[in-house]
Amino acid sequence: MSDGPKPQPGIMEISLYEGGASSLAGVENVIKLSSNENPWGPSDKAVEAITKAARSLHRYPGTDHAELRAAIGEVHGLDPDRIICGVGSDEVLTWIAEAYAGPGDEIIVTEHGFSMYPIIAHGVGATPVTVAERDRVVDVDAILGAVSHRTRVVFIANPANPTATMVGQGEIARLAAALPDRVVLVLDGAYAEFVDGFDGGAALVDRFANLMMTRTFSKVYGLGGLRIGWGYARAEIIAVLNRLRAPFNLSTAQLLAAEAAVRDQAHVARCRAENDRLREWLAHALAEHGVPSDTSSTNFVLARFADAAEAEACDAFLKADGVIVRKVAGYGLPHCLRITVGDEAACRRVAHLVGQFKGRAADG
């Protein structure tokens, strides 16, 4: 009897992605600080756009995303013809791997990099090559030292998830200049909007033919439930990726909501200002309780505990009180908990509970 069809090489090597938990058994009103969501939600204009879209659900969406690309280009000062839109930035990242890597090739990821990168690599049959970071910061020299004749893609999140750290543009430029032309350097800017004045690497795209920047509407724009992302690169790369993009990959609702959201930069500015204020407060409050974190350039802090056992115990203590944060042992950080910057009440609650936990531990 036949054993049935066999999957492509690499697929069975994939460890399934686990999103942040959103519920706790027996707890009705949880405080969810596990998925880096915007606690202030989307722009009212985006919500209005969703309502408008409901009246045309019987119509197919446009295939070229022209209006959304034009809006992104206008707001960010980019050429719309060099923008591609996907179902979250994850889809854009996947197209890059599909287009430029395959069996026998290597994709470089970093020690604490986003867990989707190895999944994407395995999905196209390539081998993910993990390089060390330096104190939870991407190490350009380590990446260059790992480049081989098989290297085809390098994935870097900047700012990074889950470490919240950032690499300077000078270092990124040094990396781009030193990489072979055949290697696509991908700057994943999911959290770029949380850094005031940061272009996510857009200016570098104009300097280097093998560089691509990706962004998302899931974080500061508060549209995680709609799954919309985009990428920016030289026209030659965009032309390749458009051959992989399904013609109707984004719905009318996604397109209209994202266009309204990107044009409402006043909402983005308000969310960023509140995040800045509460992120600083939360990091300071945790540090006062003996829980340090690196300077965050995102909407979360990576709280560091003495060891994995203490992090596990704190996580259990928080859950017992209805607060969900993210354990990051799977990212090679078993002694850490990633805590989203929520609204003021949520930040004060989690800081108070961590203080209680540390106090009980001190009392023995």
Residue 363 burial (C-beta neighbours within 10 Å; 0-12, 13-18, 19+)? exposed
Q: Is the pLDDT of residue 273 over 60?
A: yes
What is the mean predicted confidence (pLDDT) over 83-111?
97
pLDDT at 17: 61
Count of residues making up the chain:
364
Q: Is residue 169 within 8 Å of 204, Cβ to Cβ?
A: yes
- The two three-digit tokens of residue 149, written as one number: 């004749």
pLDDT band at 43 (very low <50, low <70, confident <90, very high): very high
pLDDT at 6: 75
Residue 254 CA to residue 131 CA, distance in Å, equals: 36
pTM: 0.92
Report the mean per-residue pLDDT for the chain: 94
**pLDDT tens, 126-165?**
999 999 999 999 999 999 999 999 999 999 999 999 999 9
- The two three-digit tokens of residue 181, written as one number: 């032309």
Among the listed residues 218, 225, 184, the one whose alpha carbon sits nearest the alpha carbon of residue 201: 184
pLDDT band at 49 (very low <50, low <70, confident <90, very high): very high
Domains of the chain in sequence order: 15-41+266-363 (3.90.1150.10), 44-263 (3.40.640.10)
pLDDT at 364: 59
**pLDDT tens, 307-364?**
999 999 999 999 999 999 999 999 999 999 999 999 999 999 999 999 999 988 666 5
Q: Is the pLDDT of residue 4 over 90?
A: no
Q: Is the pLDDT of residue 166 over 80?
A: yes
What is the mean predicted confidence (pLDDT) over 164-179?
97
pLDDT at 8: 78
Nearest 5°: the CA angle 45, 51, 57 is 135
Judged by average pLDDT, the poorest of 28-37, 162-171, 334-343 is 28-37
pLDDT at 30: 87
What is the mean predicted confidence (pLDDT) over 219-245?
97
What is the mean predicted confidence (pLDDT) over 286-296?
97
Residue 212 CA to residue 214 CA, distance in Å, equals: 7
Q: What share of the chain is helix, strand, coil (3-state, %, to 5)?
A: 45, 15, 40
Biggest alpha carbon–alpha carbon distance for the chain? 65
Nearest 5°: the CA angle 258, 261, 266 is 165
Among the listed residues 207, 164, 132, the one whose alpha carbon sits nearest the alpha carbon of residue 299: 164
**CB within 8 Å of 60: residues ≥ 6 apart:** 248
Percent of the chain with pLDDT over 70: 95
